[in-house]
Structure 1
Amino acid sequence: MKMKVVFVTSLLVVAILFSVLGAVIFQSHAKPATKVSLASFTTAGCTSSSAKITVTSTGSASGTPDVVNVMASINELGTSAADALSSDNSEAAQIITTVTAAGVSASDIQTTNFSLGPTYSDKGVITGYSASNSIMIKITNLSSAGTVIDQAENSIGNAGTIQSIYFSVSNTSLLQGEAKANAVSQANSEAQAMATAAGEKISGVCSISDSAPTPLYPVTYGSAMQSANSSSQVPLQAGTQSLTDQVTVIYGLTTK
């Protein structure tokens, strides 16, 4: 019985030795691991000593405004601060009620530039108090904008004015993307023309940098609104607005 156990144990030891020896032989015949240099991924013509072309180009994109922003200004006088504030609050509440009834969302109405203080005579004596604020109204339904503006102007009467009206584009991200793409496309064309004229060939793009896009400048209507006839609907034309973007692209060059 003892001899049988010893024999089995010997077989196991021999098997282990063969396994180890086989692994060593396999590794000695295996191919060495391939080393990949990061330098191999460098764009041709973009090394520090390579010739390059730097192009700065501008692209633009236009869109139709879909929002009308109306700034209404209210100013009330009173013999006391409380009186002036009460009158101002009443006028503000009236215009807010009017425009919300006309379909403007409460979230699109914002009170700004509030002030409350004394008024003085030429001799510096307090004669009363003045309360004023501005209300920004965002109208997203352009078809009803003229009616909303008329109703807002009528609701504040002589206590306030429609200070300004301007159009804007609610979502400029699409225009920004289009302007960037146009700027890069223009840069590619200019770089290709320059390289061809120099007898070289574009090998690739080394880098692209983007400047902040030029904001959309709103089309504003101001004092003309104050003299407009409140009995007729205000004529509004949204037109178009443009956004520009500038990119600087560095291209690598190779000889044709």
Structure 2
Amino acid sequence: MSDQVKSGDLIKVSHLSKSYQKALGLFRHKTIQALSDISFTLKAGETLAVVGETGSGKSTLAKLLVGIEQPDSGEIALAGKVVNCRDFHKTNHQIRYIFQDAARSLNPNQKISDILHDVLKYSTVLSEEQREQKISDTLKLLGLLNEHGNYYPHMFSGGQLQRVALARALILDPKILILDEALTALDPSLRAQIVNLLLELQQNTGLAYLLVTNQLRLVRHIADQTLVLHQGQSLDYGPTNEVFANPQHDYSRKLINSLQY
């Protein structure tokens, strides 16, 4: 990876906020502030871990970055260009999302090759022959065989399914991969395999990861930066070693001390 690629921010999030209206009755509503004034940057080849208890805003942040949800205010810049948050289809090939449950995110009635063909067909101008080659190359990159393209999702093990989910995300050559609790359901040995694969891909391609998780051992192992969220607010943010060694807020300190890592 060149110094030029390393030096610039792939994504810069500035003062991002998001709220929801919760109905309390026929004419009453309550505003739920899911995120408030969140800012961070992420460079090529880096991993940012976003941690916090359930309801802290972690998944809301991930959904804003890929356009599943729209922010109330704030700005997202990708490679120096401000993203129109209502027009994310123009950038969805650059930021890809991996769901927690790989099996449920894949159509059980489609072969893997058809799933990957659809991604390429609707997001690229590649010919059918080029799509075939891209699918073959991507499966190989993730330690899968060409024959696996003829399998249905139920024919894979949990670890293989996670590789298939990665293939669907990586086949568009994104710059940023968002892993929303994507490793939580895997047993420790499979998780270690996928983590090693992710680190190898990052080393070879300069991929940046936004890792939504509460597995703090994993955070310490692979995250360059850590962002601690609590009730939609950013409490601690900085290099992972510094956040773990010297958290600035009581909540961050309790979170780090209480969770198993």
TM-score (normalised: structure 1): 0.24
CA radius of gyration, larger in: 1
Bigger strand fraction: 1
TM-score (norm 2): 0.24
